Each structure stands twice: as C-alpha cells, then as structure tokens.
Amino acid sequence: MNPPPIVPTTPRGLTFEPMPEPQNAASILETLLKHPGRIVHELHHRGATALPLWLLALGLLGMAFYGVVIGALSGGAQFMVAPAKMALGTLLAMIICLPSLYIFTCLDGIEARIRTVSGLLFAAVCLAALLLIGFAPVGWIFSQSTDSVPLMGALHLLFWFIAVGFGLRLLNAAGAIFGRGARTHLKLWNLIFVLVCLQMTATLRPIIGKSDTFLPREKKFFIAHWIDSMKGAKAD
Amino acid sequence: MIQISKALIRGDAHELAAWLTAFDLERALRCCLLILVGCGIYGATLGLWRAPLQGAFTALKFPLLIFLTCAGNALLNGMLAQVLGSGLSFRQTSSAILLSFATAGIVLGAISPLILFVLWNAPPLGSAADVTGHSIVLLTHVGVIAYAGVLANHRLLRLLEKMSGSRSTARRVLFGWLAGNLFLGAQLAWTLRPFIGSPQLAVQFLRGDPLRGNFYEAVFHAFEHLFH
C-alpha cells in the first residue's frame, strides 16, 4: 500500500525532500544533522528497512559511547557496565513507548504507518545520541575533576535533556508535516517518553556509581533514587 | 597578517563570510598566531601584578585556555550549528569561532599597554594597600575581557546572520555556542588556575593536583559558606 501523498512543508526549517546520497552511516548522520527533513521523507516514502535499522543501530551505539564517558567517573567495570546500561535502557524505553507513540499519532490525526513512526522514533534517538557524543569531551573533563555522583548525575541529565530535546523537536516537526491539527497527544507522549527514560536511571541503577550487582535488588522510583543518592553523598 | 587583523577588526560580514567559505590551513594558522600573540601578551599583563614569573606562566596559559575550549567544544558546536539550521559545516563552525577568538585576541593585545599603565599605578604587592591593588587589577581585567568578549561576539553574530540568512537562527546558534564555551571555559580556567595569582599563595604554573575539584563545586561551596 502506498503512503498518502504529502505536500512539502517546512515546519521549524524542516525541508521535506528526497535523500539524494547513497545510504551509509556517514551520510545518514550528516543528513540527520543538516537536513533531517530528508530522513523523514525517506522513512515515509520508501518501504526499505535499511534506514530505520541504521538509525536504531547508530542511536544505540552513540548511547553506548556516551556510556563510556559516564563510566569514566568510577572507572573499572563501569567502563563496560555504563555503556551496556545506556544502550539497554534506551532500547527498553523505545520498545515500551513505541505502541503508545503510534496510537497517540493516530489520535492526533497524523497520517503515518507504524514503520514510519518507528523510524521517526529511531531518528529522534539517533539525533539525541549524536548530540550526546558532542557533549562527551565536556562530560569527560568534569568526570575527571570530581568524585561526586550527584554532581555528575545532574550534569549528565542536563546534557541528556538538551540532546533529547533536539530529538523530540525532530519528532514533533515530523508530526507537523504529517498532521494538520493540534498535536496534543504527541506532546503528552513526549512527557511519557522522558518519564520512562528517567525511570530507567532507577530501574538499571547504578549507571554512574559503583555496584556489586548489575541490576538493583530493590524497586524504586527515580525521584526516590535521586534523593537517596544525594543523601548518600552528603553522608560521605 | 596585518591585512587579516584589519579585516577582523572591521568585522565586514561580507568579507568574513567569503573567508569562511574558503577557509584554508594558512588562514587557520594565522588566526591561531593572532590568538597566541594577542592573548599571550594580554596574559602576561594578567599575571604581572603578582610577579614577573606569574606573568610568563599566564602568557602561556591564556592562549592555551582558548585553544582547549575551542577543541573541547568543536564537535558540539558543529552539531549545534547544523541542527539549528545555520548551514555551517564542522570546519566552518570551528573557523568562525577561531575568527571570533582572534578578534578578541587582537583587541586584548591592543589594550595590553593600557593594562601596563594601570599596573604601574596600582598599589604593588607587599605595600600597605596591596589588597586594594589586587581588587583594582582584578576588576580592570574583568572589564577588559568582558569588552573584548562582547565585541568579538557581536562580530560573530553579524557573520552568522550573513551565513545563515536569518537573524533568529544566528541568535540561537550564537547562544548555543556561548553557553557551551562558557560552561567548558569556566571549568578549564579553573583547572589552569592561577591566572592573576592570589597575594597569599605561591607563584605556580598550576595549583597542586589541578584536575581535583571543579569550578561549579567551588561556586556552590562559596554560597554554602555565605549562607551558613
């Protein structure tokens, strides 16, 4: 079945046009940064699974790379554990949130197939991961200057919020291309996705500090985990 | 070199935009040299009040601070420029920032004789009013560096407007770059301290264990001391 025709529009500078270059990792990353509208166009008009898979793989690799910077605070096993948890947490958050994203886009009257919606989610995460790699040198410098887990946690969260903000901006801009009405449900989904990702910091804890076990034994909400981490740092 | 300096000071957006589209290694090296000389001379005046040796140390560290900030944020600044729609490539982003720092370097180098005059008239270290002298020197440097920074960024904004064709995009990109550079620059300045040199502490190239502690923790602890 062919996708419904879309009139090229430019919400937030997003030019909706075909992607001319052959698809490889470098060209995908470059297009994602410079002309994200081409990625959206490609996802909507071509049924090939290569692009969404590239976006997913590059996004998870990028998150794992930033995980190495997160692990630099504690060193040792955390150099392996933090990247694994960053990639795993991102993948889980996407799996958990993808069905609701598709339903919410339908509720907003956005004309897109599940394949396009998944591709858009992967593109948003890939863009966020790419920006996190940009923040990596700054994060590393700070991780060498302190032993404070709450301080580094706050810093990594700040970088994560900025990076994910850009990713969600891409998703919302794509929503503006495919739909015509208000995107209330998509905005609500943004909030849900952020909350799920934040909860991953508690579900997969500790991502920043050290631990004897890979996963925690006790269940906790992320705010409780953050408060406990701050109290623990003060007590030290 | 004089031609490049004149063009940077004039800040002609058309000329600088043409440079940026054909920015080669030679121009990049010239900009680095301008930063090295301008900021180096100014750095010497920064440490001179404390001791001539501190002046020599700061003459090396001040340009180093700028190069490290540029290098540390090069990737991030390039990505921000692209996702915010400026149309600048990674190379053009680094070049634009280098041009901006070179402008600041020229201004700072040119103001250095004035700083020497201030130092000549400021109460010297070891005199009865050396605390006043330290404050005068500190405030003068803050004012001069702020002036050079504002001027260089104003030129950079005009260049970004020319390159992106949109005032709002240029402002967003400049804000992103400034936020990143100030955030990392503050930490790197903390790591490379002392620059002016405290009257109570020894003259040093770097403080003992420079990578321990950071600028933002120090600010936080200063507030804690203030309110407890």
Give residue-wise pLDDT tens across range A67-79: 999 999 888 888 9
User: Across the interface, do B180 and A138 touch by the CB < 8 Å criterion?
Assistant: yes
Helical H runs in B13-129?
Answer: 13-21, 25-48, 52-83, 90-121
Nearest CA in chain B to A13: B85
Confidence of residue A12 (pLDDT cuts 50, 70, 90): low
- Give the count of beta carbons closer than 10 Å to the beta carbon of residue A233: 15
pLDDT given for residue A1 in this prediction = 46
User: Across the interface, do A34 and B191 touch by the CB < 8 Å criterion?
Assistant: no
Q: Which structure tokens are listed for A28? A: 């995908």
pLDDT given for residue A4 in this prediction = 53
CA distance to A97, B65, B119, B146, B156, per residue, from B106 (Å): 53, 16, 20, 14, 15
Residues of A in contact with B187 (CB under 8 A): 138, 141-142, 145
User: Tokens 């948890």, residue?
Assistant: A85
User: Tokens 């404390």, residue?
Assistant: B50
User: Across the interface, do B83 and A148 touch by the CB < 8 Å criterion?
Assistant: no
Nearest CA in chain A to B190: A145
What pTM did the predictor assign? 0.81
Mean pLDDT by 10 residues, chain B (228 residues): 79 86 86 94 93 95 95 93 91 93 92 90 83 86 90 91 92 93 91 87 86 81 75
Tens digit of pLDDT for each residue in B142-200?
999 999 998 899 999 999 999 998 999 999 999 999 999 999 999 999 899 899 888 88
Tell me which of B164 and A11 has the higher pLDDT: B164
Q: Which residue in B71, B80, B214 is closest to A146 by CB distance?
A: B214
Q: CB pairs below 8 Å between A and B: how many?
A: 59
In angstroms, the separation between the Cα of residue B155 and the nearest Cα of chain A is: 24
Q: Does B69 touch chain A (CB under 8 A)?
A: no
Tens digit of pLDDT for each residue in A123-150?
999 999 999 999 999 999 999 888 888 8
CA distance to A1, A78, B117, B124, B136, per residue, from B129 (Å): 84, 53, 18, 8, 11
Give the Cα separation of B215 and B70 in Å (integer): 18
Q: Does B204 touch chain A (CB under 8 A)?
A: no
- Give the count of beta carbons closer than 10 Å to the beta carbon of residue A92: 16
Give the Cα separation of B8 and B106 in Å (integer): 9
Q: Does B180 touch chain A (CB under 8 A)?
A: yes
User: Across the interface, do A146 and B78 touch by the CB < 8 Å criterion?
Assistant: no
- ipTM value for the complex: 0.73
User: Across the interface, do B78 and A142 touch by the CB < 8 Å criterion?
Assistant: no
> Under DSSP, is residue B214 helix (H, G, I), strand (E, B) or coil?
coil
Nearest to A197 by CA among A140, A128, A143, A131: A128
